[in-house]
A = this chain, B = another copy of it.
Amino acid sequence: MAVDLTQDPAVEELARRTAQFVREVVIPVEEREHGVARSEDVRIELQRAARQAGVFAPHVSAEFGGHGLDMLGRAAVFEQAGYSLLGPLALNIAAPDEGNMHMLEAIATEEQKEQYLRPLATGEVRSCFAMTEPAPGAGSDPSALSTRAERVPGGWRIDGHKWFITGAEGAAFAICMARTAGAPGDQGGATMFLVDADNPGMKTIRHIETLDESLYGGHLELVFDNCVVPDSAVLGAPDQGFRYAQVRLGPARMTHCMRWLGIAQRSQDIAVARAAERRIFGSRLGELGMAQQMIADNEIDIAAARGLILQACWELDQGRSASQSTAIAKTFCAEAIWRVVDRSLQLCGSLGVSGDIPLGRFLREVRPFRIYDGPSETHRWAIARRVLRQHDRAAQR
């Protein structure tokens, strides 16, 4: 027993096939659609092709039709899927469905799994995760949760206001986080509910326009207004929602990183191809020192991001909370991926900001990652606090 970075051959093979599938099948569709799947037709076309290629649903257990990858396995495969903006959708590992499947496998009852997880895992339906609220509600500070669920005979009544609910348009159900105890600011007291899309108490206010556009199903603003759900809609135990959210959030943070890391690598490959071909000032662009510096910095950022993802995924696979290592990896990756896309675009000059190549699109898509799933500032605050608490505990001994 010792440190070993040798990849599991089965994982390696799946990653290799995913890479091939994305290059041969997905990127042509991405180019045709200018990076954004705007209809179910595209989703269905891509997911059918992924099933045919044997790369569909790599993260779901075999029982629900997937490859059953652990987090380390996902790290290898998801990065390859993320090499195209539409790769995750094709493999059915896009946010928020991927994270919801992860949580449902971990927490749901058998009945809930059959009703919600199975059709989600096959791509028959989609879902969303309704946690974030407009200020001053739950956001960077989840404990500010103000959506409430009150007991009613045989179930619960949910009332509240949510926004930035990714993938909500066309989703068959939402996992809604609501306060069942305590008041905004309290650390506990949240419960997760499965809410069907046809529940008349869950209403769409609007589609929020955002800088990014590629997350399928958009970002909606919703209200829960006298939204009654049965007892069977409770996911896990009441009042344990914040704990479950951590179950979801740690891995979800990492899968975001994996997918966006694919876009970083793609950006670098586009920039390197450009640097290899473009002649300027009498030599190849890639022979000029400032271009080399950007290429090298991209390489360093990508390698460091991979290393941090690896560490965090290994801890998660060991059953640890990994809250520090996922926070570190998420913060670094969000900023490093952003830098890589930005440098790659710069290397391509005017071409880079044009629609002729996808770097301008990528820049728009990755920018929010420094905010979504916790702004970098919130993660830094949490990282520093853990370090200080660790110091305090050691000092007391």
Contacts and interface: CB of A to CB of B under 8 A. Distances in A.
Interface of A: 1-9, 11, 72, 132, 135-136, 139-141, 144, 163-164, 185, 208-212, 219, 268-269, 272-273, 275-276, 278-282, 284, 286, 288-293, 295-297, 299-300, 303-304, 306-308, 310-311, 314, 324-325, 328-329, 331-332, 345-346, 349-356, 360, 363-364, 367-368, 370-372, 375-377, 379-381, 383-385, 387-388, 391-392, 395
Contacts of A392: 276
A293 B290 contact: yes
Nearest to A280: B141
22 contacts: A1-B6, A1-B8, A4-B4, A139-B280, A141-B281, A144-B280, A164-B354, A209-B354, A210-B353, A211-B364, A268-B387, A272-B387, A276-B392, A289-B377, A290-B292, A290-B293, A300-B328, A303-B308, A303-B329, A304-B332, A307-B310, A353-B367
A318 to B, nearest CB: 8
Given A331-B296, A380-B292, A381-B290, A275 B364 contact: no
Contacts of A346: 370-371, 375-377
Contacts of A293: 289-290, 293, 377, 380, 384
A349 B140 contact: yes
Oligomeric state, in number of copies? 4
Q: Which 9 A-B pairs have the closest CB atoms?
A: A289-B289, A307-B307, A209-B355, A292-B384, A296-B380, A211-B360, A2-B8, A296-B383, A295-B384
Given A5-B3, A210-B355, A349 B139 contact: yes
B367 A349 contact: no
B363 A349 contact: no
A3 B4 contact: yes
A329 B296 CA distance: 12
A11 B289 CA distance: 41
A1 B9 CA distance: 8
Chain B CB within 10 A, most for which of A210, A282, A363, A384? A384
Contacts of A284: 388
A324 B363 CA distance: 27
A212 B355 CA distance: 10
A208 B273 contact: no
A256 to B, nearest CB: 15
A147 to B, nearest CB: 16
Contact of A212 (B209, B282, B353): B353
Contact of A311 (B275, B303, B380): B303
Contacts of A325: 303
Contact of A164 (B7, B291, B350): B350
A61 B297 CA distance: 37
A388 B298 CA distance: 13
Nearest to A268: B387
Contacts of A136: 278-280
A152 to B, nearest CB: 32
A349 to B, nearest CB: 6
Contact of A2 (B7, B308, B324, B383): B7
A353 B139 CA distance: 14
Contacts of A387: 268, 272, 295-296, 299
A353 to B, nearest CB: 4
A287 B6 CA distance: 42
Nearest to A327: B296
Contacts of A135: 278-280, 351
A163 to B, nearest CB: 8
Contacts of A209: 354-355
A324 B295 CA distance: 13
Contacts of A289: 288-293, 377, 381
